[in-house]
Amino acid sequence: MSSKTGNILIIDDNLDILSSLTQLLKYDFNSIKTLANPNLIPETIQQHEFDVILLDMNFSAGINTGNEGIFWLREILKIDPGSVIILITAYADISLTVSAIKEGGFDFIVKPWDPQKLITSLKAGVKYRKTLREVRNLKSKQKSLSENLNQQHDPIIGNSTEILELHRTIAKIAPTNANVFLYGENGTGKELIAREIHRKSNRSNAAFISIDMGTISESLFESELFGHTKGSFTDAKEDKMGRIEIASGGTLFLDEITNLSLPLQAKLLTVLQNREVIKVGSSTPIPIDIRLICATNMNINDLISENLFREDLYYRLNTIELYIPPLRERVSDLHSLTDYFIKKFEKKYNKGPFKISQDAISALENHHWPGNIRELKHSIERTIILSESNIIRQEDIFQSQLSNRKAKTLNNIQSLAEIEKETINRALKISEGNLSKASKMLKISRTTLYSKMEKHGL
C-alpha cells in the first residue's frame, strides 16, 4: 500500500459524491475535506492549505452550463494563484472545461470517473503543488540571500592577544552546531564574529541570515521571523518565508536579542524547543535546522534578575559564550584598523593615497572610543571625504569634536543633539552600562535608547 500524501479539498453540492470520494481517497491522501456549499470556498482556503482542490462544474439545480465552476475557479486563483484545481465535469462540459484549463485549471475528471485515473491525477497534482512551493521558497530564499550577499562586510582585523585568542576559540567552536552567545559593547564587531563562525562551520555553503532584533516591531515579529500566508493580515498580499525558515540548513544571527519583550521571548523559545515554525495564517508546522548565534550589548544576568529576560531562553541560547573586547582593550590593533579603513575609503571615494601623521596616531591611541570600531570607521570615512590634504592630522580626524568645543567656547550654547548625547552618557555611567536601568532613568524604551546610542556613536 502506497504511503499517504497531500491534503485534498472536494467541492460538490452532491452529498453522495462527497461521501463516496472521501471513502475512495482516504487511503491515499493525508486529509480529505469536503464542501457542499461553494460560498464557503473563500473562507475555507484562507484558513487551510490544500495541495489539490477537486471542484465540480455545476452547483445550482437545473443548471448544467459549467459557468459556476469557471466562476469559482477564478475566485480560488484570485485568493491563491498557486492553487492546483482539478475540475469534475460531465461529458457535455468538456469543451468548457478545456477553456477552464487555459484559465489555470490543472486537469479535469469526467463523470463517471475511473477511480485509479482519479487517484493518479490527484497524486500528480500534489506533486505539482509541492514543486510550485519549492520554486516559490527557492525564489524567496534567493532574494534574501542576494540582499545579504550585496552587503559588504569588513574582515576581522588585528593581532592583539585578545583577537588572537578569539580566533582560537572560533576555530574550536565553529565546526560544532553549538549555539553561541556573543556579548560586548556597541560597535565591537559582534556580527563579524558571527559571520566568521559561520564561514568556518560545516554550514558555510548555506545561508547566514542576520536580524537586528532592535529594529523589528512587535507587530511584525512573527511575520518577519516565522513568515506568513497570503491574506493572513491586511498587507499580506503573497506568501512569505520567514527569516528562520530561510536560514534553515545554515546560521541564524539574532543581534540585540535582549530587545525582545517577554511575550516574544516565549514565542522564540517555543520555536527553538520544537525545532519548527508555523507561519502566520497557517496551522502547518515547518521543520527547521538552524545554528543559532545571538548577541547583546547589555548585562544579561541583570536582565534575568530583573525578570526582563527569560532564564530558560538564555540557557537555550548560551551553549558557548564569547566576550568581544572593546577597542580600548585592544589599542595595539588601532594601527592596522586605521590603515584598513583609510585604504577602503581611498578606493571608495577615489582619493589619496593618504598618510597619517604622528600627532594623529597619538590622538587615536589616547581617544576612549566609546563607539568602538564603528566610531573609528565613521571617523576615518568622514576624514577621507573632507580632507583637502593627503596628510591626515589630528584635527582632521577629530574636527567635529574640535568644532563643537570651539562653538561652546564662543557662545556657551549646546545643541539639542549635544544635550541628548551628554544626558545618555551620564545615564550610562550612573547605570554602569546597564541599558535596562539607563532606559528607565531616561524614561524611554530600550529600543529607543539603542537607536539613540547608534545615532550618537555611543
pLDDT tens figures, 342-356: 999 999 999 989 999
Q: What is the pLDDT of residue 433?
A: 74
191: how many CB neighbours lie within 10 A of its CB?
18
pLDDT digit string, tens, across residues 54-103: 998 888 655 566 678 888 999 999 888 889 999 888 765 667 777 778 88
Cell of 161: 592577544
What single letter denotes the amino acid at residue 395? Answer: E
Q: What is the pLDDT of residue 405?
A: 43
Q: Quick one: DSSP state of residue 371? A: T
Quick one: average pLDDT of 125-135? Answer: 82
Cell of 70: 469557471
Quick one: average pLDDT of 359-382? Answer: 91
Q: What is the pLDDT of residue 408?
A: 43
CA 390, CA 384: separation in Å to the nearest integer? 9
Q: What is the pLDDT of residue 423?
A: 82
Q: What is the pLDDT of residue 238?
A: 77
CA 443, CA 256: separation in Å to the nearest integer? 20
SS3 state of residue 36: coil
SS3 state of residue 417: helix
| Residue that wins the pLDDT comparison between 154 and 260 | 260
Q: What is the pLDDT of residue 93?
A: 64
CA 127, CA 139: separation in Å to the nearest integer? 18
pLDDT digit string, tens, across residues 254-313: 999 998 989 999 999 999 999 999 988 888 888 999 999 999 999 999 999 989 999 999
Q: What is the pLDDT of residue 411?
A: 46
CA 99, CA 355: separation in Å to the nearest integer? 74
Q: What is the pLDDT of residue 428?
A: 79
| Residue that wins the pLDDT comparison between 42 and 89 | 42
Using the Cα atoms of residue 213, residue 216, residue 222 and residue 227 in order, give the sign of their dihedral: negative
Tell me the DSSP string of 301-369. HHHHHTTSS-HHHHHHH-SEEEE---GGG-GGGHHHHHHHHHHHHHHHHT----EE-HHHHHHHHHS--
pLDDT digit string, tens, across residues 179-238: 999 999 999 999 999 999 999 999 988 889 999 888 888 888 888 899 888 777 877 777
Q: Can you give the length of the chain in residues?
A: 458
Residue ranges and CATH numbers for the domains of the chain are: 7-131 (3.40.50.2300), 152-325 (3.40.50.300), 329-412 (1.10.8.60), 414-458 (1.10.10.60)
Overall pTM surpassing 0.85 (yes/no): no
pLDDT digit string, tens, across residues 5-28: 889 999 998 899 999 999 999 889
Q: What is the pLDDT of residue 406?
A: 43
Q: What is the pLDDT of residue 418?
A: 76
Whether residue 46 contacts residue 231, with contact meaning beta carbons closer than 8 Å, is answered with yes
pLDDT, averaged across the chain: 85
SS3 state of residue 390: coil
pLDDT digit string, tens, across residues 403-441: 444 434 434 455 677 778 878 877 777 777 777 777 777
Q: Quick one: DSSP state of residue 91? A: G
366: how many CB neighbours lie within 10 A of its CB?
9
Whether residue 450 contacts residue 256, with contact meaning beta carbons closer than 8 Å, is answered with yes
Q: What is the pLDDT of residue 407?
A: 38
The percent of residues in the chain predicted with pLDDT above 70, rounded, is: 89
Residue (of 263, 215, 262) closest to 243 by Cα position: 215
- Inform me whether the pLDDT recorded for 141 exceeds 70: no
